[in-house]
C-alpha cells in the first residue's frame, strides 16, 4: 500500500499525536507541512478545507482524533477491550480540549508576556492541574494509563505533559507519577529519536 500522507501546518499542534503514533508503531507516513502564508492557496486543494487531513488511498480523512485513532488501531495501540478503548478516547478528548484552550490564548492578539501570564496563572492551575491530579493518582500503581500495555493514550499524555513541562519546568513537583510516565514515554527509542529530529516549531 502506498504511504499515507499527513497534511498540516509546519507545526506540532493537533497533528503531533498522529506523528508520534506513526513513529512508535513504525507506520510509514509522509509528513507534508506548509507555512501559514501558503494556507490560503493550499486550502483550496484539500477536500473539506481543514487540516490535519490524512490522505490514504484515494480518501481524505479529516479530524485529528479520528486520524489518530485510525493509525493507532493500525499500529496495535488501541486496547482490544471496548471499554478500555473508550477510556483512551475520553482521555484524548480531555487533553485535546485542554490544549485547545492553550491555543486560544496562543492565537489571541495579546502580548507574549500576557500570554505567558495566562498560561501559567490560569491555564495551568485551573485546567491542567485537576487533570494531573486524577492522572497522577491513576498512575501511582500502574505502568500504563489503561490495560497492561502502552496505548495511544500514553503517547497523548506524554505529548501533552511534555509541552506542559516546556512551559513550566517544575510543573510536576507534586505529581511524581506523571513525571515518571512522561519521561518513560519520551525515552522510548522511536519517540526519543523523533523528539531529537523533528522540526523545531513554536507550537
In the complex, which residues of this chain contact another protein (CB under 8 A)?
A: 47-49, 56, 59, 61-63, 65-67, 69-70, 73-74, 80-87, 89-90, 93-94, 130, 134
Least distance from C-beta 30 to another protein, angstroms? 17
Cβ atoms of 52 and 64 within 8 Å: the answer is yes
| Comparison of 90 and 187: residue with beta carbon closer to another protein | 90
In 3D, which of 86, 103, 74, 99 has the Cα closest to residue 161? 99
Least distance from C-beta 63 to another protein, angstroms? 4
| Comparison of 19 and 188: residue with beta carbon closer to another protein | 19
HSE (CB half, 13 Å, CA atoms) of 46? 24
Least distance from C-beta 62 to another protein, angstroms? 5
Q: In whole angstroms, how far apart are CA 185 and each of 34, 79, 155?
A: 28, 17, 7
Q: In whole angstroms, how far apart are CA 124 and each of 11, 151, 167, 168, 171?
A: 22, 25, 9, 9, 9
| Comparison of 42 and 73: residue with beta carbon closer to another protein | 73
- Rounded Cα gap, residues 152 and 101, in angstroms: 22
Least distance from C-beta 107 to another protein, angstroms? 16
| Comparison of 75 and 162: residue with beta carbon closer to another protein | 75
Which grid cell sits at 139? 498512575
| Comparison of 35 and 93: residue with beta carbon closer to another protein | 93
Least distance from C-beta 1 to another protein, angstroms? 11
Amino acid at each position: 500500500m502506498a504511504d499515507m500522507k499527513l497534511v498540516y501546518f509546519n507545526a506540532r499542534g493537533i497533528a503531533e499525536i498522529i506523528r508520534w503514533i506513526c513513529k512508535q508503531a513504525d507506520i510509514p507516513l509522509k509528513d507534508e507541512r506548509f507555512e501559514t502564508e501558503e494556507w490560503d492557496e493550499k486550502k483550496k486543494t484539500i477536500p473539506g478545507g481543514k487540516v490535519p487531513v490524512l490522505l490514504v488511498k484515494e480518501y481524505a480523512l479529516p479530524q485529528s482524533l479520528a486520524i489518530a485513532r485510525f493509525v493507532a488501531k493500525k499500529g496495535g495501540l488501541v486496547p482490544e477491550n471496548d471499554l478500555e478503548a473508550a477510556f483512551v478516547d475520553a482521555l484524548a478528548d480531555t487533553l485535546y480540549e485542554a490544549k485547545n484552550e492553550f491555543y486560544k490564548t496562543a492565537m489571541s492578539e495579546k502580548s507574549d508576556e500576557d500570554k505567558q501570564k495566562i498560561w501559567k496563572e490560569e491555564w495551568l492551575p485551573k485546567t491542567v492541574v485537576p487533570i494531573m491530579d486524577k492522572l497522577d493518582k491513576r498512575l501511582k500503581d500502574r505502568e500504563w494509563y489503561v490495560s497492561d500495555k502502552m496505548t495511544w493514550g500514553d503517547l497523548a499524555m506524554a505529548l501533552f505533559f511534555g509541552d506542559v513541562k516546556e512551559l513550566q519546568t517544575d510543573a510536576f513537583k507534586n505529581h511524581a507519577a506523571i513525571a515518571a510516565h512522561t519521561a518513560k514515554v519520551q525515552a522510548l527509542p522511536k519517540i526519543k529519536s523523533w523528539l531529537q529530529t523533528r522540526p523545531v516549531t513554536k507550537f
